Amino acid sequence: MPDTLLKVEHLKKVYESSTGNVEAIGDISFEMTSGELVCIVGPSGCGKTTLLKCIAGLLKPTAGRVEIDGSAVTGPPPSMALVFQEYGRSLYPWLTVRGNVELPLKHKKLSRADRDRLIDDALVAVGLDHAAKSYPWQLSGGMQQRVAIARAVAYQPEVLIMDEPFAAVDAQTRADLEDLVRALHRERGMSILFVTHDIDESVYLGERVVVLSKSPTWVQEDLAIDLPPARDQISTRAMPRFTELRTHVYEQIQRAKRGEAVRPGATEA
């Protein structure tokens, strides 16, 4: 039995405002083991980003708890790295690519040589070793997101959390970046929690797909993706099993949108 890395238990988040309370997350529980690549998919507006922020310790949940390696998350844990959707606002434009990757390592107690090695290694991993001296705004969107991924890789997190990271890049770049995520997972054994609204992407990337209901959100289905681990854009997507799985997830999302799925243990019809 592999170790539980991340544990989300009965997470609930209510946004309080003067116009009334909004229950974004109803009750979410799931677990993730070390070395897994889990995709979270749900209808738009279902609180995916809220969930990630709670997991990453950026938001305080109203109820429930998040555990990483058995200890509760109360603030941003050092064992997590985040990749945001808005790469343009997540990278610092006054730092070079190298400076951006180096930034989170500054307060880690590393020797100059170790730090340089981590940075070089991360830049090679995302294929940007030639652009280290450029500034992020000199790069294309896809390359900027690669910088953000390199920054997260160099940080050596136990779990990499990605919040719809490829929503803002074009389709071809997106396919390249998806394969990059697969490669990081397969070659480096990184544990990745990948949030997306794209059903195909979730099935193509994940070993498990967690389907969320509409808001107030709960876990509608936790689906194992039994595709072979070596995946590529053409043959994997052409597999009958891939089509079955994506159809299944698609139907689940449609049910979620219509609110047909009934929350287990809920009294409402």
Partner 1 sequence: MTLHTSTITVPRPRSRVWASFGENIAYAIGLPILLLVIWGIWASASPAPFFPSPLIIFEAFVDTWVGPAFVTDVLPSLGRLGLGILLSVLVGIVAGTLIGLVRWLRDLLEPMLEFFRAIPPPVLIPIVAVLLGPTDTMKITVIVAGSVWPVLLNTIDGVRATDSVMTETARSFALTPVERIRYLVLPAASPRIMAGTRQSMSIALILMVISEMFYSSSGLGYRIVYFQRNYLIAEMWGGILLLGLIGVLLAGIFGFVERRVLRWYHGIKEVERA
Q: State in angstroms the smallest separation of the CB of 49 from partner 1.
A: 11
Q: Strands of 74-151 (E only): list them.
A: 80-83
Residue (45 or 76) nearer to partner 1, CB: 76
Query: What contacts 5, CB < 8 A, 6 or more positions away?
Result: 32, 33, 34, 36, 68, 69, 158, 159, 191
Q: State in angstroms the smallest separation of the CB of 124 from partner 1.
A: 16
Residue (81 or 219) nearer to partner 1, CB: 81
Q: State in angstroms the smallest separation of the CB of 89 from partner 1.
A: 4
Residue (128 or 256) nearer to partner 1, CB: 128
Rounded to an integer, what is the distance from CA 42 to the centroid of its chain?
13
What are 203's two structure tokens? 């099935």
Residue (95 or 261) nearer to partner 1, CB: 95
Rg (Cα) of the chain, in Å, rounded?
A: 19
State the virtual CA torsion across 249, 253, 255, 256 in degrees, nearest 10.
130
Q: State in angstroms the smallest separation of the CB of 30 from partner 1.
A: 21
Query: What contacts 263, CB < 8 A, 6 or more positions away?
Result: 26, 27, 213, 218
Q: State in angstroms the smallest separation of the CB of 82 from partner 1.
A: 4
What are 130's two structure tokens? 């030639």
Strands 4-15, 159-163: parallel, antiparallel or unpaired by DSSP? unpaired
Its sign, for the CA torsion 227, 228, 233, 239, is negative
Q: State in angstroms the smallest separation of the CB of 168 from partner 1.
A: 12
Residue (91 or 249) nearer to partner 1, CB: 91
Residue (56 or 184) nearer to partner 1, CB: 56
Which residues in this chain contact partner 1 in the complex, by CB under 8 A?
53, 56-58, 75-76, 78, 80-82, 84, 86, 89-90, 92-95, 103-104, 106-107, 130-131, 134-135, 137-140, 142-143, 151, 155, 173, 176
